[in-house]
C-alpha cells in the first residue's frame, strides 16, 4: 500500500483527539485490530496491526496514520510500517517510508480497505460529530440521534367541548361552567339523588338517570 494523504476541512464542533479516537474505535470494533496513538508536534500519529500477531512484537506489519493540523485543514497521511511498542514522533519517518525489502519479508501489513476505513472515519466524525455508528463507517447504515418526540396533547373532555344555552339570556356557555358568562344565571345544580352536577334545566340526571323534574 503506497503512502497516501488526504485533507479535510475542520470545524470547531469536534476536537482532533475525538477524530483520532473514532478511527481507533472503528479499527478495534470492526476489524479487531490492535491500535495505539500518541501526541506529536501539531497533531497525532496512530498505528494499527493484527492483534492475533502480538507475539511478533516489533516485527509484525502495521499501518500508521498521521493527523496534522495545517491551518483550517486536517491532513491525514497513511502508510506501511512495523509495529512499535513505543510509538512516538521519532518513528514517523520509518513508519511512512517502509523499505520494499521489509515489505517483501513480512508481506502486506493489512487489507487495502483499512486505509479507506481510516479516511472514512475521519470524514464521518467531522460531518456528524461524536455519534456512534452501528456498523463500519463506510456502510450506509448509520445510527442517527433519535429526535425527541413531543407527547400528544390530551384529548379534551366532553365538558371542555360541549355547549349549553343559558335558560335566562340564551347565551352559549361551556357545559362545565356553573354560571352564565353573560348574565350570571346559575347553570348547574346538584342532583338530589346522587349529588352529581347537572344543568338547571335538566329533566334527568346524566349520572344516575333519575328524573329531576
Q: How do residues 50-66 score in pLDDT, each as one tens digit?
A: 877 655 556 678 888 99
- For residue 175, give the 3-state DSSP assignment: coil
In which residue are the cell numbers 479516537 written?
Answer: 21
**Residues of the chain with pLDDT > 70: what percent?**
71
pLDDT, one tens digit per residue, over 147-163 is 677 777 777 666 667 78
Q: Residue for cell digits 367541548?
A: 161
Tell me if the pTM is above 0.85.
no
Q: How far apart are CA 82 and CA 63, in angstroms?
A: 8
Cα 189 to Cα 118, 164, 176, distances in angstroms:
77, 14, 12
Q: Region 86-109: what's the mean pLDDT?
A: 48
> Average per-residue pLDDT in the chain?
76
Give CA separation, 112 vs 21, 117, 142, in Å.
Answer: 21, 9, 22
Give the chain's domains with CATH numbers.
Answer: 4-128 (3.30.310), 158-199 (no CATH)
pLDDT confidence tier of residue 44, bands split at 50, 70 and 90: very high
- Helix-strand-coil split of the chain, %, nearest 5: 30, 25, 45
* pLDDT tens digits along 171-210: 888 877 888 888 888 877 777 788 777 776 777 887 888 8
Amino acid at each position: 500500500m503506497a503512502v497516501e494523504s488526504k485533507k479535510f476541512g475542520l470545524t470547531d464542533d469536534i476536537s482532533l483527539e475525538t477524530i483520532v479516537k473514532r478511527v481507533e474505535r472503528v479499527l478495534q470494533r470492526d476489524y479487531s485490530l490492535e491500535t495505539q496513538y500518541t501526541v506529536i508536534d501539531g497533531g497525532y500519529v496512530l498505528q494499527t496491526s493484527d492483534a492475533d500477531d502480538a507475539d511478533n512484537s516489533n516485527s509484525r506489519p502495521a499501518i500508521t496514520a498521521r493527523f496534522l493540523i495545517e491551518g483550517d485543514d486536517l491532513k491525514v497521511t497513511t502508510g506501511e510500517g512495523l509495529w512499535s511498542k513505543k510509538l512516538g514522533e521519532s518513528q514517523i519517518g520509518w513508519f511512512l517510508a517502509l523499505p520494499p525489502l521489509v515489505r517483501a519479508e513480512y508481506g502486506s501489513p493489512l487489507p487495502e480497505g483499512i486505509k479507506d476505513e481510516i479516511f472514512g472515519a475521519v470524514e464521518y466524525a467531522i460531518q456528524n460529530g461524536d455519534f456512534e455508528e452501528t456498523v463500519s463507517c463506510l456502510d450506509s447504515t448509520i445510527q442517527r440521534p433519535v429526535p425527541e418526540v413531543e407527547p400528544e396533547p390530551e384529548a379534551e373532555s366532553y365538558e371542555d367541548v360541549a355547549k349549553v344555552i343559558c335558560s335566562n339570556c340564551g347565551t352559549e356557555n361551556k357545559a362545565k361552567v356553573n354560571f352564565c358568562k353573560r348574565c350570571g344565571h346559575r347553570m348547574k345544580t346538584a342532583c338530589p339523588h346522587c349529588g352529581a352536577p347537572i344543568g338547571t334545566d335538566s329533566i334527568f340526571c346524566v349520572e344516575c338517570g333519575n328524573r329531576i323534574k
